[in-house]
Amino acid sequence: MFTLPNGIRVIHQQVDSPVAHFGVIVNTGSRDEHAAEQGIAHFIEHTIFKGTQKRKAVQIINHLEDVGGELNAYTTKEETAIYATFLHEFYARAIDLISDIVMNASFPEKELEIEKEVIIEEINSYNDSPSELIYDEFEELLFDGHPIARNILGTPDTVRSFHRNQLQSFIRNNYQSHEMVICSVGKILPRKFEKLVSRSFIQLNENSQSKNRIPFEAYVPKSKELEKDTFQSHCIIGAEAYSLKSEWRLPMVLLNNILGGSAMNSRLNMVLREKNGLAYNVESNYSPYTDTGAFMVYFGTERKNLYRAVGLVEQEFRMIRSKKLSDRLLLRSKKQLIGQLAIANENREELMLTLGRSLLYFDKVDPMSVVFQKIDSISANDIYQVSNEILAAHNLSKLVFL
């Protein structure tokens, strides 16, 4: 790890692999938009590839793809990432390209107009997918009236209103050097990597202006049912949860995994799918943000089975609130989570992004051994306390698409 003179933090992990990963993560997302700007962070993520002062859009596309590489990006409510995967001998090419995109995007008006229609089609596609749409609408219910509640994609009206000056202004106000992290996993010596990064990113002016995010402080549980023209009923039950820096974040991660994580033997998958055949897909998700978080259990089922399925989910909540996990079950649950994290760590693209996000939010990166020790230290009392705080009946919100 090192920091450039302009404040950009950098982390690199050398690995012996022909494939390398390099990216830039910025502490800026949809919650940093004003109401009239809804969707602009995501719009920038799309259009930042459409041209720079020295490259046209087709040149940006071809620069890495001609040598088998891939460019990618994503936007969340709190971050934007631009990254690439490529053969390690093309490190210099990838770093030069991404630095040019991040620092010198020109946003040609003709390209902006084309991309507006692309994103509006993305919005339409999303609206046709109730199992995806319900997550965003649940967060709108959960964080009602707060910037973090708003949909990342924006609306057709806001997207159509964007222009070059507006995009450049948003970047100036939000893409501060001290809010950026460069991350890398690949076969390159640290000294050579540092030289390449310094040469390409030193041109970015230092900007240490801090974020002025409005904290979320007013969670009120709500329930809502909406009529939708769908074959299934879709349901989310959840609540506000712990923030990224909360001492209860890891116990919440473990609780989430026990209830509805990726394993087929999660409690909710067993009771809804395996034992009763009420759902094809059931899952729980915990999304921690810098000052708050969201816990959500989702399932889709036939309308006639909806309230039975809801009752079974609420029954699982009552059971885990009322009785502490046995030593055997707690140990099994911790081993399962540790194994899942270890396997995920083998995906080097995800590893690169995880390293970057950890440095961005915590200004450090714990080795996996330390993370595993922290998971091992979680007690049955911790799970019991988190369950009774987050899953309390009076604390839950519910959204149903009928």
Q: Where are the domains of the chain?
A: 2-201, 223-401
H or E, element range at 21: strand 19-26
Q: Is there a contact between 402 and 234 (Cβ–Cβ < 8 Å)? A: no
Instruction: State pLDDT tens for residues 44-67.
Output: 999 999 999 999 999 999 999 999
- On the question of a common fold for 2-201 and 223-401, the answer reads yes
CA 110 to mean position of chain CA atoms: 30
Read off the pLDDT of each residue in 290-296 and give the average, rounded to a whole number.
Answer: 97
CA distances (Å), 176 to each of 8, 32, 98, 210, 392, in order? 9, 13, 16, 8, 40
Please give the pLDDT value at position 46.
96
Q: Is there a contact between 232 and 300 (Cβ–Cβ < 8 Å)? A: yes
Please give the pLDDT value at position 212.
83
The top-level CATH class assigned to 223-401 is alpha beta
Q: What is the CATH number of domain 2-201?
A: 3.30.830.10
pLDDT at 268 over 90: yes
Please give the pLDDT value at position 117.
97
Please give the pLDDT value at position 208.
73
pLDDT-derived band at 248 (thresholds 50, 70, 90) equals: very high
Q: Is there a contact between 11 and 356 (Cβ–Cβ < 8 Å)? A: yes
Please give the pLDDT value at position 375.
98
Q: Is 315 helix (H, G, I), strand (E, B) or coil?
A: helix
> Rounded distance, CA 79 to CA 72, Å?
14
> Rounded distance, CA 336 to CA 341, Å?
9
Residue 247, Ramachandran bin (φ over 0: left; ψ between -120 and 50: alpha; else beta): alpha
| Tokens 């080795």, located at residue | 367
Instruction: State pLDDT tens for residues 165-216.
Output: 999 999 999 998 999 999 999 999 999 999 999 999 988 888 777 778 999 9
